Amino acid sequence: MYSHAFGLFLVLPQGERRQGEGPMREVAAEGRFDGWEQLVGLRVVGVGAASREARDLSMKEWETLGVGLGMPVLRARVDNPEVPYGGFMEAINPASGEHGEMLRKLFRKLDERGWARIMLGLTEEDVQRVVRAALVIVGGETGVVLALDDVHHADARTIGLLEYLADSAARVLLVLGHDPLNGSPRLAALLAKTRNPDATERLARIFELPPDRAGYRLTRREATVLEGVAQGLTDDTIADRLAISPRTVHRRLRHVSRKLGTETEDREEVVELAKSAGLLPGED
């Protein structure tokens, strides 16, 4: 189990606290706490509205949340129910690197009737496992958001793949936009099976982005990393305390820099800009 699910550092009530270190004193409890699995309990978000415009607004909020947490966001629309795995090909197009290309090639071939079964001997379950594995690699340690709209048009194989991803242990958050009046019983069953009545409220509390005095909005992870940098801590030290990777620390600091209107990687400059913006206390 990992304490950095969804790119957040979450602290158990029984977690240790080191004295005299400000917010950086929070330390992961023994056994590590997986906030996504045990606190949020959310794998599928159903965005139901008859209007595509209304769904689009809600789905953009989830996309913004994922981006703010450093998660890859793959978004698409299911336009043609006749296309096998409709929507997945479009969603994978923005995915970068060799794994994104692998998925693109896979879905291109799946468009050819019978190709996967006849040429490769792939069953539907085989395809599901391949897609899951690729999404896990794309998401890395933070997970990935897969946002599909118009899933009420989805073909049976797409629904089957969504069911498989929802039931698997993969860090894939499915955001499914749909018309509640036109969905299939199978889609309704998927949404009902994975719905957690308290999840959205708890998620909003966990991912709340409190505005600072200057009107900037930092995630809790970004604010904690920024404080560690201001204390002169190295990426390795911050990563060790937050149970994340040094690479994630570096990425969070870059997010802070961009929110401050700069691309600089000079840590001292970032700290000074943060002080000027009211994100950190100034010199006495």
Model pLDDT, residue 89: 64
Q: Tell me which CATH code domain 220-277 carries.
A: 1.10.10.10
Facing residues of 146 across strands? Answer: 74, 174
Q: List, in order, residues 6 or more apart from 99 with CB less than 8 Å away.
A: 134, 137, 138
Model pLDDT, residue 183: 77
Model pLDDT, residue 1: 29
Model pLDDT, residue 21: 33
The pair of three-digit structure tokens given for residue 2, joined into one six-digit string: 């990992």
Model pLDDT, residue 230: 92
Model pLDDT, residue 119: 58
Asked if domains 36-207 and 220-277 share a fold, the reply is no
For the stretch 240-248, contacts whose Cβ atoms lie closer than 8 Å and that sit 24 or more positions apart, written own/partner, are 241/24, 241/27, 242/4, 242/9, 242/28, 243/2, 243/3, 243/4, 243/9, 243/28, 243/32, 244/3, 244/4, 244/7, 244/9, 244/141, 245/4, 245/141, 248/4, 248/7, 248/70, 248/141, 248/142
Alpha-carbon gap, residue 58 to 71, rounded angstroms: 17
* 73: helix, strand or coil: strand
Model pLDDT, residue 188: 85
The pair of three-digit structure tokens given for residue 204, joined into one six-digit string: 């909003």
HSE (CB half, 13 Å, CA atoms) of 171? Answer: 24
- Range list of H helices, 111-264: 115-119, 124-139, 156-167, 185-194, 199-206, 220-230, 235-242, 246-259
CATH of 36-207, one of 1.10.8, 1.10.3470, 3.40.50, 1.10.20: 3.40.50
pTM, 2 dp: 0.54
Residues 244, 4 contacting (CB under 8 angstroms)? yes
Alpha-carbon gap, residue 66 to 72, rounded angstroms: 7
- Ranges of each domain in the chain: 36-207, 220-277
Residues 7, 70 contacting (CB under 8 angstroms)? yes
The pair of three-digit structure tokens given for residue 173, joined into one six-digit string: 């958050």
Alpha-carbon gap, residue 200 to 195, rounded angstroms: 10
Per residue of the chain (284 residues), what is the pLDDT tens digit? 222 233 222 222 223 333 333 322 222 222 233 334 433 445 788 888 878 888 888 888 777 777 766 777 888 888 777 766 766 666 665 554 555 666 666 666 665 555 555 556 667 787 788 788 878 877 777 778 888 888 888 888 888 888 888 888 777 888 888 888 887 888 888 887 655 545 555 454 444 433 333 445 677 788 889 999 999 999 999 988 888 888 889 888 988 888 777 778 899 988 988 887 777 876 54
